[in-house]
Amino acid sequence: MSLEDRKRELERAQKIIDDVMGMARDAGAEEVAARYGSASFVSLKQRDGEIETLQSSKSRGLSVSLFVDGRYSSNSTSFLEHDALSRFVAESLEMTRRLAPDPNRRLPEPELYGELPDVDLEMFDERGDGDMDARKGRIAALEDAARAGEHVISATAEMTTQDSMSLRVHSNGFRGHNESTTFFLGASVTVRDDDGRRPEDYCWVGARHFADLPPPPEIGAEATRRATQRRGASKAPSARMTLVVENRIASRLLGSLLAPLGGSALQQGRSCFEGMLGEKLGSDLLDVVDDPLIPRGLASRLYDGDGLPATKRSVLTKGVLDRYFINVYYGRKLEMAPTSGSASNLLLTPGERSMDELVGGVERGVLVTSFLGGNANPATGDFSFGVGGFLIEGGQLTQPVSEMNIADNHTELWKRLSAVGNDPYPFSAWRLPTLVFDDVQFSGS
Amino acid sequence: MSNFFEERFGLDDGVYRRVMATALERGGEYCDLYFQQRSSTVLGLEDEEINRAFRSDDLGVGIRVVRGDATGYAFSEDLEEASMHAAARVAAAIASGGQSEPPQKIVSRTHPDLYPVERPWGEVSTVERLPLLGRVNARAAGGDDRISKVRVHLSDSESRVLVVDAEGRKSYDYQPMTTLYVACVARDGERREESYHNIGGRQGLELYTDDKLDHVADEAVRRTLLLFDARRPPAGEMPVVLAAGSSGILLHEAIGHGMEADFNRKGTSIYSDRLGKLIAEPIVSIVDDGTLPASRGAINVDDEGNETQRTVLVENGVLRTYLHDRISARHYGVKPTGNGRRQSFRHVPMPRMRATYMLPGPHDREEIIRSVKQGILAESFTNGQVQIGAGDFTFYIKCGYLIEDGRITAPIKDVNIIGNGPKVLADVTMVADDMVIDEGGWTCGKDGQSVPVSLGMPTVKVGSVTVGGVS
Looking at the fold, whether B52 and B178 belong to one and the same domain comes out as yes
Amino acid at A346: L
Mean pLDDT on B230-259? 95
Contact: A379, B185; criterion CB under 8 Å: yes
Q: 3-state DSSP call for residue B339?
A: coil
Mean pLDDT on B129-149? 98
What is the per-residue DSSP string for B420-453? Answer: EHHHHHHTEEEEBS--EE--S-EEEEETTEEEEE
Task: Name every residue whose Cβ is closer than 8 Å to that of residue B108 and which is 6 or more positions away in sequence.
Answer: B1, B170, B171, B172
Looking at the fold, whether B139 and B268 belong to one and the same domain comes out as no
How far is it, in rounded angstroms, from Cα A301 to Cα A298?
9
How many C-beta neighbours within 10 Å does residue A390 have?
23
Those of residues 164-223 in B touching chain A at CB distance below 8 A are 185, 187, 192-194
How far is it, in rounded angstroms, from Cα B401 to Cα A289?
41
Contact: A383, B414; criterion CB under 8 Å: yes
CB B454 within 8 A of CB B438: yes
User: Which of A94, A100, A154 shows the shortest C-beta gap to B51?
Assistant: A100
Kindly tell me if the per-residue pLDDT of B290 is higher than 80.
Answer: yes
Q: Which residues of B167-194 are buried (b: 16+ CB within 10 A; e: fewer)?
A: ebbbbbbbbbbbbbbbbbbbbeeeebbb
Looking at the fold, whether A248 and A225 belong to one and the same domain comes out as no
CB B332 within 8 A of CB B265: yes
Convert the pLDDT of each residue in B425-435 to its tens digit.
999 999 999 99
Asked if A317 has any chain B CB less than 8 Å from its own CB, the reply is no
The torsion defined by the Cα of B391, A257, A343 and A429, in degrees rounded to 10, comes to: -40
Asked if A168 has any chain B CB less than 8 Å from its own CB, the reply is no
Q: Which of B210, B229, B248 is the last residue of a domain?
A: B229
The three-state DSSP-derived secondary structure of B213-226 is HHHHHHHHHHHHHH
Kindly tell me if the per-residue pLDDT of B181 is higher than 90.
Answer: yes
How far is it, in rounded angstroms, from Cα A429 to Cα A292?
10
User: Which of A190, A197, A373 shows the shortest C-beta gap to B384?
Assistant: A373
User: Which of A102, A190, A270 shows the shortest C-beta gap to B49?
Assistant: A102
User: Which of B51, B93, B393 shows the shortest C-beta gap to A99?
Assistant: B51
The whole-angstrom distance between residue B317's C-alpha and the CA centroid of its chain comes to 24
Looking at the fold, whether B175 and B253 belong to one and the same domain comes out as no
In 3D space, the residue among A30, A36, A34, A35 whose CA is nearest the CA of residue A97 turns out to be A30
Mean pLDDT on B384-390? 94
How many C-beta neighbours within 10 Å does residue B142 have?
12
φ/ψ of A239, rounded to 5, equals: -170, 160
How many C-beta neighbours within 10 Å does residue B32 have?
24
CB B46 within 8 A of CB B151: yes
Looking at the fold, whether A225 and A262 belong to one and the same domain comes out as no
Contact: A373, B467; criterion CB under 8 Å: no
Q: Which of B174, B197, B229 is the last residue of a domain?
A: B229
Looking at the fold, whether A258 and A141 belong to one and the same domain comes out as no
Neighboring chain B residues of A384 at a CB cutoff of 8 Å: 396, 414-416, 468-469
Neighboring chain B residues of A75 at a CB cutoff of 8 Å: 54-56
Q: Which of A229, A261, A282 is the last residue of a domain?
A: A229
Q: Which residues of A200-223 are buried (b: 16+ CB within 10 A; e: fewer)?
A: bbbbbbbbbbbeebeebbebbbbb
Residue A136's closest chain B neighbor by CA? B94
Beta-ladder partners of B432: B363
Q: Where are the alpha helices (DSSP H) in A148-282?
A: 216-229, 250-258, 263-267
Asked if B382 has any chain A CB less than 8 Å from its own CB, the reply is yes
Looking at the fold, whether B269 and B319 belong to one and the same domain comes out as yes
Residue B58's closest chain A neighbor by CA? A78
Looking at the fold, whether B218 and B259 belong to one and the same domain comes out as no
Asked if A260 has any chain B CB less than 8 Å from its own CB, the reply is no
Mean pLDDT on B244-252? 95
Looking at the fold, whether A156 and A257 belong to one and the same domain comes out as no
Looking at the fold, whether A145 and A273 belong to one and the same domain comes out as no
How far is it, in rounded angstroms, from Cα B138 to Cα B220?
13
CB B176 within 8 A of CB B204: yes
Asked if B148 has any chain A CB less than 8 Å from its own CB, the reply is yes
Q: Which residues of B77-92 are buried (b: 16+ CB within 10 A; e: fewer)?
A: bbbeeebbbbbbbbbb
Looking at the fold, whether B296 and B202 belong to one and the same domain comes out as no
Mean pLDDT on B60-88? 96
Looking at the fold, whether A267 and A212 belong to one and the same domain comes out as no
Shortest distance between the Cα of A67 and any Cα of chain B, in A, equals 10
Looking at the fold, whether B304 and B348 belong to one and the same domain comes out as yes
Looking at the fold, whether A13 and A162 belong to one and the same domain comes out as yes
Asked if A187 has any chain B CB less than 8 Å from its own CB, the reply is no
Residue A234: inside a domain: no
Beta-ladder partners of A158: A45, A186
Asked if B49 has any chain A CB less than 8 Å from its own CB, the reply is yes
The three-state DSSP-derived secondary structure of A46-68 is EECCEEEEEEEEEEEEEEEEEEE
Q: Which of A229, A263, A294 is the last residue of a domain?
A: A229
Q: Strand B374-386 relative to strand B236-242: parallel, antiparallel, unpaired? A: parallel
B28 half-sphere exposure, CB direction, 13 A CA radius:
29
Residue A197's closest chain B neighbor by CA? B390
Q: Which candidate in B39, B54, B57, B75 is best for mutational testing of the A interface (most A CBs within 10 A)? A: B57
Structurally, chain A folds into a number of domains equal to 2
Task: Name the maximum alpha-carbon separation found in chain B.
Answer: 75
Neighboring chain A residues of B419 at a CB cutoff of 8 Å: 403
Task: Name the maximum alpha-carbon separation found in chain A.
Answer: 73
Q: Which of A183, A206, A229 is the last residue of a domain?
A: A229
Mean pLDDT in runs of 10 for chain A (445 residues)? 90 97 96 98 95 96 97 97 94 97 97 95 96 96 94 96 97 97 97 95 97 97 97 97 98 97 97 97 98 98 97 98 98 97 97 98 98 96 97 98 97 98 96 98 96
User: Which of B55, B73, B151 shows the shortest C-beta gap to A75?
Assistant: B55
The torsion defined by the Cα of B229, B231, B237 and B240, in degrees rounded to 10, comes to: 20
Asked if B143 has any chain A CB less than 8 Å from its own CB, the reply is no
**According to the model, what pLDDT value does residue B26 have?**
96
Contact: A79, B57; criterion CB under 8 Å: yes
- Full residue range of the structural domain in which residue B165 is found: 4-229
The torsion defined by the Cα of A162, A165, A168 and A169, in degrees rounded to 10, comes to: -160
Shortest distance between the Cα of B403 and any Cα of chain A, in A, equals 19
User: The domain spanning residue A87 has which CATH number?
Assistant: 3.30.2290.10
Contact: A78, B467; criterion CB under 8 Å: no
Those of residues 63-102 in B touching chain A at CB distance below 8 A are 69-78, 87, 90-91, 93-94
Looking at the fold, whether B102 and B16 belong to one and the same domain comes out as yes
Residue A17: inside a domain: yes
Mean pLDDT on B53-57? 97
In 3D space, the residue among B223, B313, B211, B319 whose CA is nearest the CA of residue B274 turns out to be B319
Task: Name every residue whose Cβ is closer than 8 Å to that of residue B338 and which is 6 or more positions away in sequence.
Answer: B290, B299, B301, B302, B306, B307, B308, B309, B311, B354
ipTM of the prediction: 0.95
How far is it, in rounded angstroms, from Cα B464 to Cα B376?
10
Looking at the fold, whether B256 and B372 belong to one and the same domain comes out as yes
How far is it, in rounded angstroms, from Cα A69 to Cα A14?
26
Neighboring chain A residues of B386 at a CB cutoff of 8 Å: 372
Residue A371: inside a domain: yes
**According to the model, what pLDDT value does residue B1 have?**
52
Residue A397: inside a domain: yes
| Cα dihedral sign, A404-A435-A409-A315 | negative
Shortest distance between the Cα of B362 and any Cα of chain A, in A, equals 30
Beta-ladder partners of A168: A35, A176
Residue A81: inside a domain: yes
Asked if A67 has any chain B CB less than 8 Å from its own CB, the reply is no
Asked if A425 has any chain B CB less than 8 Å from its own CB, the reply is no
Looking at the fold, whether B222 and B268 belong to one and the same domain comes out as no
**According to the model, what pLDDT value does residue B2 have?**
67
Asked if B60 has any chain A CB less than 8 Å from its own CB, the reply is yes
Q: Which of B168, B200, B229 is the last residue of a domain?
A: B229
pLDDT band for position B471 (50/70/90)? confident
- Long-range contact list for B290-294, CB < 8 A, 24+ apart? B290/B338, B290/B339, B290/B354, B290/B355, B291/B114, B292/B114, B292/B355, B292/B437, B292/B454, B293/B114, B293/B115, B294/B114, B294/B115, B294/B201, B294/B202, B294/B203, B294/B207
- Full residue range of the structural domain in which residue A399 is found: 239-443
The three-state DSSP-derived secondary structure of A273-327 is CCCCCCCECCCCCCCEEECCCCCCCCCCCCECCCCCECCCEEEEECCEECCCECC
Structurally, chain B folds into a number of domains equal to 2
Looking at the fold, whether B201 and B333 belong to one and the same domain comes out as no
* pTM, 2 dp: 0.96
User: Which of A193, A200, A386 shows the shortest C-beta gap to B416?
Assistant: A386
**According to the model, what pLDDT value does residue A3 have?**
87
Looking at the fold, whether B412 and B430 belong to one and the same domain comes out as yes
Those of residues 280-339 in B touching chain A at CB distance below 8 A are none
Looking at the fold, whether A417 and A371 belong to one and the same domain comes out as yes
How far is it, in rounded angstroms, from Cα A25 to Cα A19?
10
CB B132 within 8 A of CB B52: no
A262 half-sphere exposure, CB direction, 13 A CA radius:
15
Kindly tell me if the per-residue pLDDT of B241 is higher than 70.
Answer: yes
In 3D space, the residue among B443, B467, B268, B394 whose CA is nearest the CA of residue A370 turns out to be B394
Looking at the fold, whether A254 and A322 belong to one and the same domain comes out as yes
What is the per-residue DSSP string for B375-399? Answer: EEEEEEEEEEEE-TTT-EEEEEEEE
Query: H or E element: which one contains B14?
Result: helix B13-23
Asked if B151 has any chain A CB less than 8 Å from its own CB, the reply is yes
Asked if A86 has any chain B CB less than 8 Å from its own CB, the reply is no
Residue A65's closest chain B neighbor by CA? B54
Size of interface A-B (CB pairs under 8 A): 254
**According to the model, what pLDDT value does residue B70 have?**
94
CB B406 within 8 A of CB B369: yes
Those of residues 386-405 in A touching chain B at CB distance below 8 A are 386, 388, 402-405
